[in-house]
Amino acid sequence: MLPSSVADFANLEIASYIEKTQYSPAGSATDRVKLFKLAWDAIGSEFGSRHTQYEMFYAGAAFVTRGHAFRTCEWEQVTRMVDGCLARYDAPKPRA
């Protein structure tokens, strides 16, 4: 359901579909698309997938590693990092 390219935001007709399908009460459609694209870059790319697979098979039982990661995460630092990454994604404004 995500746009194939940032250029889709420049097309008024396509941008209106994006606004309808990516609606979220937590943020704009553009912010939602940026978040999903960032998630894809982190875990869906070749590097991200390889790292995820490594963590799944070599770090121990999933419930143990998840619990440890949750307890030791620097949540404020991570939130700032994600906000900084999202601020770097830019989408053009729709043109008529």
Boundaries of every domain in the chain: 30-96
8 Å CB contact between 2 and 33 = yes
Check residue 75 and give its pLDDT. Answer: 92
Q: How far apart are CA 56 and CA 66, in angstroms?
A: 10
Confidence of residue 96 (pLDDT cuts 50, 70, 90): low
pLDDT, one tens digit per residue, over 35-69 is 988 888 877 777 777 877 777 777 778 888 889 88
pLDDT > 90? residue 82: yes
Largest Cα–Cα separation, the chain: 54
Confidence of residue 77 (pLDDT cuts 50, 70, 90): very high
What's the Cα-to-Cα distance from 80 to each of 1, 42, 46, rounded to whole Å? 27, 16, 25
pLDDT, one tens digit per residue, over 3-37 is 888 889 899 999 999 999 998 888 899 899 999 88
Average of pLDDT values for 72-92? Answer: 90
Average of pLDDT values for 71-76? Answer: 94
Q: Using alpha carbons only, what angle is made at residue 23 by residues 22 and 28, rounded to the nearest 5 degrees?
A: 95
